[in-house]
Amino acid sequence: MSAVLEVSGLNLVLDANARRLHVVRDVTLDLRQAEVLGLIGESGSGKTMTGLSLLRLEPEQSDITATTLRLGETDLLVASQSALRALRGSKIAMIFQDPVGAFNAAKRIGWHARQVLRQRNITAWRDKTHDLLAEVDITDTDRVLDAYPHQLSGGMLQRVLIALVLAAEPQVIIADEPTTNLDNIVERQILRLFRRLKHSHGAAFIFITHDMTVAAALSDRIAVMYAGEIVEIGPTRDIFDVPKHPYTIALIRTAQALQARAGRLPEIAGELPSLARHPTGCAFASRCPHRMAACDTTRIAMTQTDPQRQVRCLLHAPA
Amino acid sequence: MWRTFRSSRVAQVGSAIMVFTILAIVLIRLFSPYQPNDKDYEAILQAPSLQHLFGTDSYGEDVLTRIAYGAEVSLLISFSGLILGGLIGTVIGTICGFWGGVVDSVAMRFIDLLYSFPTYVLALCLMLLLGYGASSVSLAIALVYVPNFARLARSMTTATRSANYIIAARLMGQSSPRILLREVLPNIAAPLMVQFSAGLGFGIVLEAGLSFIGLGVQPPTPSLGVMMADGKDYFEKGPWVLSLTGLSVAWIILGLNLLGDGLRDAMDPRLRRRRS
Amino acid sequence: MRPPDPPPVAAAMKLLVDVQNVTVRFRRKRNLRAMLTGGDVTFRAVADADLAIYRQEVVGLVGESGSGKTTLGRTILRLYEPSEGVVVFDGEDITHLREHQLRRVWRHMALVFQDPLSSLNPRHSIRTTLATPLRITGTDGAEIEPRVIAALRRVGLPSDALDRYPHELSGGQLQRAALARALMLSPALVIADEAVSKLDVSVRSQILNLFKDLQADLSIAFLFITHDLHVAAYLCDRIAVMFFGRVVETAPAHELFRTPRHPYTRALLATIDDTAEAPETARRGLVDPEVRGCIYQSQCPRRVARCGDAHPPTMTVGNDHTLACYNSG
C-alpha cells in the first residue's frame, strides 16, 4: 500500500523569547492507508509539535523545514494557505486532547453538526448526523444535539468531536492525546471506537500519546520520541516484546511495574534536556544506564535493525 | 521579565526619552541663566537665538527655562495624582475583589459612577468644589484614576483569589490581610504598574488641558498648559512659544507611553520564559 | 506525668478523619436562560458519602472526573462546607467551623495539587514558599533556614533550588517542592489531589516512590485522589470508589482487586485487565444525577427493579469492605 503521508527530515525550530528551541529534529515517518501509527513521548518530546506540523499548524514564530512533507500528491511545505485550509478537515484532520475548546460554548451541538456538514456540502444533515453519532455509540441523538457543550461529559464530547471529524471522511486523522482527560472506562470505549473506524473508514491514524498501554492497544506501528527525535520505530508487538532503545525499555518497564504493583517503581533518573541547548550526541545519554563515551560526541543516526525496525542508538549501530 | 524589558526596543526608546527629559530638566534648572519668571521687556517675543534657545514669550521670559520648570511641575502633578489615585483605587479594588459580597457590590457601584463621568467633567466638578490650582489638578487626576485602578485591581484579585497557591496559603493558616499583601499583591503589581505609566502620560494631558483653560496651575507658577494658552494668543507674532511647548508636551507623553508599552510587553506571559 | 504511648497497633487504628453522610451542594450561577427555563439552581457534587481515614494509612479515592472525589477531598479540608452530614477530624467536629477557627485545624492537614506550577506563588522563590509556613507559626528566625534545607533534602531537591522561581523548575521538581511545603508543619493528613496525573511517566515513578518513602518515614495519613486505578493500587492500603458523587464501594486494596463487588468497580477493573470485551461494561447513556434510585442504573448490566426505588444503602459485606448495591451477586 502506498504511503498516504510521507515525512522525511522534518525539523521545527521555535523562536521563543530570543531563544531558539529545536522542538522537532529530523523526523522521518510514513503513514499507510488504514494503519495506526502510535507516536509515544512525554512532554517536551516534540510529539504534539510534530502533529501540528503535519497540518501546517505550527506556531507563527517558527521555522519549519523538511526534505519531504507530502500528503498524497500535495506538497504541504509549498502549499498556499488557502490550499492548506481546503485540506484541513477534509483530507487531514486533528482531534485534540481537550474537546471542550473545539466547541462554541454558546451553541448547541446540533449547530456544530450543521456547520460541519453544511461546509462539506452535505444536505439532510440531521439524518447524516444520526448515522455519525450512532457510529460513535451515541444513541440518544436528539438529546445530544439539543444539548450545549457544557452539559455533556468529556467522554461524550470527545465522541461527538470524533463523529464530526469523521463526517468529512479525511484520509489522515491525527489524534493528540484524545483520551488523556477521560476515565478508564470511557477511554476503552473510545479506543475500541478508533479500532472499528480504522476498518470501516480506511482512514490512517497518527495516535499521539504518552501512555504506552494505550498506544499498544491501538497501534499497528509505534514511534517513540525523545527530545524532538524519533529514537525507535517499528511494529507494535516487536517493540513491546523486544524494545531496543534504553528509553523505550525504561518506559515499558515503568508501565509494567505499575500494573504489577511492584514494591518500588523503576525510575529514570534525571530530567529532559533543554531544547535550546541540544547536546551533540545522544539526548538521552545523561539518563542512560548504558552510556558510553561515544554517546556524547557522535551525532547518532537511525539504524535499520530489521526490515521494519529502526533504532537511534549506538548499542545497535553497526560496528 | 526585567531582561525582556531591557531588550524591548520600545522600552529602550521610551526610557531614553524620559531619561533625557529628566536630565534636561535638571540641567536647565541648574545652569540656566534665567529664572522662569524673569521678565525682560526689552526682549519680548524674540525668536530662538543663542541667548534664548527657544526664544522668549510676550513678557520676555525665556521659553526653554519655562518649559523645563513647567514640565517639572506637570510631571510632579501627574505623578502625585497617579500615585494617590493608584493607591486608593488599588486598595478598594483588592478589597472588593478578595472579599466580594455586599462590600464589593456597593463599592463597585460608586466606582462605576465615577467611571461613567467624562474625564474633564469629573475634573471640572472637583475644581468647582476645591477651587483652582496645582493641588486641585493633582486631586482631579487622582479621582479620575481611582476607578481605573479599582477595576483593574479588582479583576486581577478576583482571578488570583481562586488560584491554587492562594488556597495553599489559606491552608497554611495565613490571615486574609497577610494573604492580600504577601501573596496576591506581588502577582497583580505588574499590570498595575503598566496602568500607572500609561496614566502618567494622560495625567500630563489632563493637567495641560486644565491649565490651558485657566483652571489648573495658576501664574506665576510656570505650566505647560498656561504657556500654550498664552502662545496661542500671539501665535502669528511668535509661533515658537506654542509650537515648542506643544512639542515638548508631545515629547514627554511619547516617552511615557513608550515606557508603558515596553512595560506591558515585558509583562506579557507569552513572551515570558518558561521551561517547556 | 504523660500517659504512656498507646501500643503501635492501637495507634494505627485510631480514626483520624470520619466523614458521615456528607452531601455537598453548590449553587449554580443563575443566568437568564436558567431563570426562564426553570433550570437547576443547585448542583450536588457529593451525595451522602461516608469515608474513614485512620492514622498513618493510605486511602485511595478513585473515580472519573465529575465523580466528586476532588470535592470530597476538599470538603475534608473544609474548603467547602457540607450541606448535610458531618466531618470529624481527630475527634473534633469541624463541619461548621469558620475560617479563623479552621486555621488551627489546618496545621495538621496539607493539600498537594494536581498542577504543581499553579500551586506555588509565581513571585515567591522556593525558599520563601517553604519558609512561609514556619514564619506564620512563629518559628524562630534562626531555625527557619536549616528546616527549609532539611525539607528540600527529604524530597530529593538540590539546595540550589532554594533561590529558583517556579517557572524555572520542571514538573517533577515543582511537585517535590509542593510536597516539601506540605510537610513543613508535620501534618497528620496529606491529601494529594491527582498529584501525579500531570507528570510524565518517567517522572511519575520518581514521585510515586517518593510518596511511598515519605509515608513510611513520617507516618502520615494520605488521601490519594486519582482517576488511575494503577496508581491507587500501587500506593494505597484501602481504596474508595466514587461514581457521580456517591461512594459506591470501599475495601482494602488487594481485596478490591480480587473481589470487586460493585458493577462500576468491576467495569473499572476490567479496563485494567485488558481483556478484549469485558462482559460487565454496559453501553453508556447519559447519567441522570438526580435520578430516583441508584445513581448507576443507566449504566448497570445488573439492574433490577429495586434499583429504581431508592439509592442502595451502604452495607458492610466483609472485612472492612463496604458496598452500596442491591444486586452485586
pLDDT (tens digit per residue) in C151-178: 999 998 988 889 999 988 888 899 999 9
Among candidates C237, C248, C231, C257, which has minimal Cα distance to C287?
C248
CB contact at 8 A, C327 and C262: no
Element (H or E) spanning A19, and its range?
Answer: strand A19-32
Same domain, A158 and A233: no
Banded model confidence at residue A11, pLDDT cuts 50, 70, 90: very high
Decide if B187 and C122 are in contact by the 8 Å CB cutoff: yes
Decide if A275 and B272 are in contact by the 8 Å CB cutoff: no
Cα torsion through C150, C155, C157, C158, rounded to 10: 40
Banded model confidence at residue C29, pLDDT cuts 50, 70, 90: low
Reported as a single tens digit per residue, the pLDDT across C98-132 is 988 999 999 999 999 999 999 999 989 999 999 99
Chain B residues whose beta carbon lies within 8 Å of the beta carbon of residue A23: 276
In sequence order, which residues have a C-beta less than 8 Å from that of residue C325 and are 6 or more positions away?
C248, C249, C261, C262, C263, C294, C312
pLDDT at A258: 75
In this predicted structure, the answer to whether residue B240 has a pLDDT above a threshold of 80 is: yes
Banded model confidence at residue C190, pLDDT cuts 50, 70, 90: very high
Residue type, A305: T
Place of cell 531496543: A244
Residue A46 covered by a domain: yes
Tell whether C205 is within 8 A of chain A (Cβ).
Answer: yes
pLDDT at C106: 94
Rounded-to-integer distance, Cα A311 and Cα A295, Å: 14
Dig out the grid coordinates for C254 from the structure.
Answer: 488487594
* CA distances (Å), origin B113, targets A72, B118, B202, C249: 63, 11, 20, 56
CB contact at 8 A, C12 and C55: yes
Range A182-187 average pLDDT: 74
**Which domain does A85 fall in, by range?**
3-91+171-273
Range A186-204 average pLDDT: 80
Rounded-to-integer distance, Cα B89 and Cα B146, Å: 4
Rounded-to-integer distance, Cα A42 and Cα A100, Å: 23
Q: List subunits contacting chain B, requiring 3 or more Cβ pairs under 8 Å.
A: A, C
Banded model confidence at residue C86, pLDDT cuts 50, 70, 90: very high
Decide if A137 and C267 are in contact by the 8 Å CB cutoff: no
Rounded-to-integer distance, Cα C208 and Cα C214, Å: 10
Range A92-108 average pLDDT: 86
Domain count, chain B: 1
Banded model confidence at residue C9, pLDDT cuts 50, 70, 90: very low
Rounded-to-integer distance, Cα A286 and Cα A268, Å: 10
Rounded-to-integer distance, Cα C322 and Cα C63, Å: 16
In this predicted structure, the answer to whether residue C44 has a pLDDT above a threshold of 50 is: yes
Range A53-58 average pLDDT: 90
Range B105-127 average pLDDT: 91
Collapsing DSSP states into helix, strand and coil, what is residue A311?
Answer: strand
Among the partner-chain residues C202, C231, C284, the one whose CB lies closest to the CB of A42 is C202
Q: How far is C145 from chain B (nearest CA, A)?
A: 18
Same domain, A185 and A197: yes
Residue at which a domain ends, from A154, A169, A184: A169
Rounded-to-integer distance, Cα C146 and Cα B146, Å: 45
Decide if A183 and C63 are in contact by the 8 Å CB cutoff: yes
Terminal-to-terminal C-alpha distance of chain B? 17
Banded model confidence at residue B276, pLDDT cuts 50, 70, 90: very low
In this predicted structure, the answer to whether residue B125 has a pLDDT above a threshold of 60 is: yes
**Which domain does C73 fall in, by range?**
14-108+187-323
Dig out the grid coordinates for C136 from the structure.
Answer: 506564620
In this predicted structure, the answer to whether residue A142 has a pLDDT above a threshold of 50 is: yes
Residue A266 covered by a domain: yes
Same domain, A163 and A52: no
Reported as a single tens digit per residue, the pLDDT across B135-150 is 889 999 999 999 999 9
In this predicted structure, the answer to whether residue C7 has a pLDDT above a threshold of 50 is: no
Residue at which a domain ends, from A122, A152, A169: A169
Same domain, A144 and A186: no
- The chain-wide mean pLDDT, for chain A, equals 85
The proportion of chain C whose per-residue pLDDT surpasses 90, expressed as a percent, equals: 47
Let me know if C276 is exposed, middle or buried by CB neighbors in 10 A (0-12, 13-18, 19+). exposed
Q: List subunits contacting chain C, requiring 3 or more Cβ pairs under 8 Å.
A: A, B
Banded model confidence at residue C149, pLDDT cuts 50, 70, 90: very high
Helices (H), B117-214: 119-130, 134-161, 164-171, 176-178, 185-212
Same domain, A240 and A175: yes
Among the partner-chain residues A17, A43, A44, the one whose CB lies closest to the CB of B271 is A17
Residue B196 covered by a domain: yes
pLDDT at A72: 86
User: Which CATH number is B166's domain given?
Assistant: 1.10.3720.10
Tell whether A19 is within 8 A of chain B (Cβ).
Answer: yes
Same domain, A157 and A191: no
Rounded-to-integer distance, Cα B162 and Cα A50, Å: 35
Q: How far is B157 from chain C (nearest CA, A)?
A: 14
Decide if B173 and C120 are in contact by the 8 Å CB cutoff: no
Chain B residues whose beta carbon lies within 8 Å of the beta carbon of residue A275: 276
Range C81-108 average pLDDT: 93
Q: Which residue has the higher pLDDT, C34 or B94?
A: B94
User: Which CATH number is A179's domain given?
Assistant: 3.40.50.300
CB contact at 8 A, A165 and A93: yes
Domain count, chain A: 2
- The chain-wide mean pLDDT, for chain B, equals 86
Query: For residue A268, what is the nearest residue in chain C, using CA coordinates?
Result: C202
**Residue B33, number of CB atoms within 10 A of its CB:** 9
Strand pairing category for A172-176 and A204-209: parallel
Reported as a single tens digit per residue, the pLDDT across B154-205 is 999 998 888 999 999 999 889 888 999 999 988 888 889 888 988 998 999 8
pLDDT at A175: 92
pLDDT at C34: 56
pLDDT at C32: 62
Chain A residues whose beta carbon lies within 8 Å of the beta carbon of residue B7: 18
Decide if C121 and B272 are in contact by the 8 Å CB cutoff: no
Residue A311 covered by a domain: no
Rounded-to-integer distance, Cα A287 and Cα A49, Å: 23
Same domain, A254 and A109: no
Rounded-to-integer distance, Cα C189 and Cα B114, Å: 49
Q: How far is B260 from chain C (nearest CA, A)?
A: 21
pLDDT at C11: 44
Rounded-to-integer distance, Cα A193 and Cα A199, Å: 10
**Residue C44, number of CB atoms within 10 A of its CB:** 20
Residue of C99, C132, C194 to mutate, interface with B, max B Cβ within 10 Å: C132
Decide if C234 and A265 are in contact by the 8 Å CB cutoff: yes
pLDDT at A96: 85
Rounded-to-integer distance, Cα A170 and Cα B82, Å: 58
Banded model confidence at residue C249, pLDDT cuts 50, 70, 90: very high
Residue B273 covered by a domain: no
Dig out the grid coordinates for C300 from the structure.
Answer: 448497570
Residue A304 covered by a domain: no
Range A139-167 average pLDDT: 84
Residue at which a domain ends, from A137, A169, A201: A169
DSSP of C230-252, one letter per residue?
Answer: HHHHHH-SEEEEEETTEEEEEEE
Collapsing DSSP states into helix, strand and coil, what is residue A27?
Answer: strand
pLDDT at C37: 61
pLDDT at B80: 95
Q: Which residue has the higher pLDDT, B219 or C204?
A: C204
Query: For residue C121, what is the nearest residue in chain B, using CA coordinates?
Result: B165
Q: How far is C31 from chain A (nearest CA, A)?
A: 13
In this predicted structure, the answer to whether residue A250 has a pLDDT above a threshold of 80 is: yes
In this predicted structure, the answer to whether residue A169 has a pLDDT above a threshold of 90 is: no
Rounded-to-integer distance, Cα A129 and Cα B145, Å: 54
Rounded-to-integer distance, Cα A296 and Cα A287, Å: 12
Residue B65 covered by a domain: yes
Domain count, chain C: 1
pLDDT at C297: 84
Residue B276 covered by a domain: no
**Which domain does B103 fall in, by range?**
2-267
Dig out the grid coordinates for C325 from the structure.
Answer: 448495591
In this predicted structure, the answer to whether residue A318 has a pLDDT above a threshold of 90 is: no
Residue A301 covered by a domain: no
User: Which CATH number is C241's domain given?
Assistant: 3.40.50.300
Same domain, A19 and A150: no
Helices (H), A16-61: 47-54
The proportion of chain B whose per-residue pLDDT surpasses 90, expressed as a percent, equals: 30
Tell whether C230 is within 8 A of chain A (Cβ).
Answer: yes
Strand pairing category for C321-323 and C246-252: antiparallel
Among candidates B270, B274, B263, B272, which has minimal Cα distance to B12?
B263
Tell whether A21 is within 8 A of chain B (Cβ).
Answer: yes
Residue A14 covered by a domain: yes
pLDDT at C171: 85
In this predicted structure, the answer to whether residue C52 has a pLDDT above a threshold of 90 is: yes
In this predicted structure, the answer to whether residue C255 has a pLDDT above a threshold of 80 is: yes
Banded model confidence at residue C2, pLDDT cuts 50, 70, 90: very low
Range B90-105 average pLDDT: 92
Among candidates A246, A221, A214, which has minimal Cα distance to A309?
A221
Banded model confidence at residue A128, pLDDT cuts 50, 70, 90: confident
Reported as a single tens digit per residue, the pLDDT across C291-327 is 888 888 888 888 888 888 888 888 888 888 999 998 8
Same domain, A77 and A107: no
- The chain-wide mean pLDDT, for chain C, equals 85
pLDDT at C146: 93
Q: How far is B276 from chain A (nearest CA, A)?
A: 6
Residue A313 covered by a domain: no
Decide if A17 and B273 are in contact by the 8 Å CB cutoff: yes
In this predicted structure, the answer to whether residue B1 has a pLDDT above a threshold of 60 is: no
Chain A residues whose beta carbon lies within 8 Å of the beta carbon of residue B5: none
| Bridge partners (DSSP) listed for residue C318 | C321
Max mean pLDDT among A43-47, C12-16, C204-208 falls in C204-208
CB contact at 8 A, C221 and C190: yes
Place of cell 471522511: A169
**Residue B267, number of CB atoms within 10 A of its CB:** 17
pLDDT at A221: 94
CB contact at 8 A, B194 and B1: no
pLDDT at A58: 87
Range A269-284 average pLDDT: 78
